């Protein structure tokens, strides 16, 4: 950073990047983006802003198309030869205790 570089406040940078001031401060506190701490406040230079944009830039890549998951279709049970239909139990309902 050159000695004459312009330093922007967190408000100015958050407006320019269209993010909240709190998000910018959080990223600075987590050391995810470059910054300068002056008198307890975060300051960001124009080269830092370029580095922030480069950090979060997403390059286009090949499109991966995933096949939709196949759904199992319910097969009707085969009719028994005796003429009796066997019943199946339902899944239990959710109760307040299990929610």
The pLDDT confidence band at residue 2, using thresholds 50, 70 and 90, is: low
How many CB atoms sit inside 10 A of residue 27's CB? Answer: 17
Residue 75, helix vs strand vs coil:
coil
User: 41-45 and 36-38: which strand pairing?
Assistant: antiparallel
Greater model confidence, 81 or 54: 54
pLDDT digits 0-9 by tens, 20-36: 999 999 999 999 999 99
What is the four-CA torsion angle of 83, 88, 90, 92, rounded to 10 degrees? 140
């Amino acid at each position: 950073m050159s000695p004459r570089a312009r330093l922007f406040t967190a408000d100015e940078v958050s407006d320019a990047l269209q993010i909240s001031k709190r998000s910018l401060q959080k990223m600075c506190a987590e050391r995810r983006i470059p910054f300068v701490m002056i008198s307890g406040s975060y300051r960001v230079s124009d080269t830092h802003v370029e580095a922030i944009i480069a950090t979060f830039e997403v390059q286009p890549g090949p499109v991966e198309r995933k096949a939709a998951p196949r759904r199992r279709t319910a097969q009707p049970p085969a009719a028994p030869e005796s003429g009796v239909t066997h019943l199946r139990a339902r899944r239990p309902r959710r109760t307040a205790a299990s929610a």
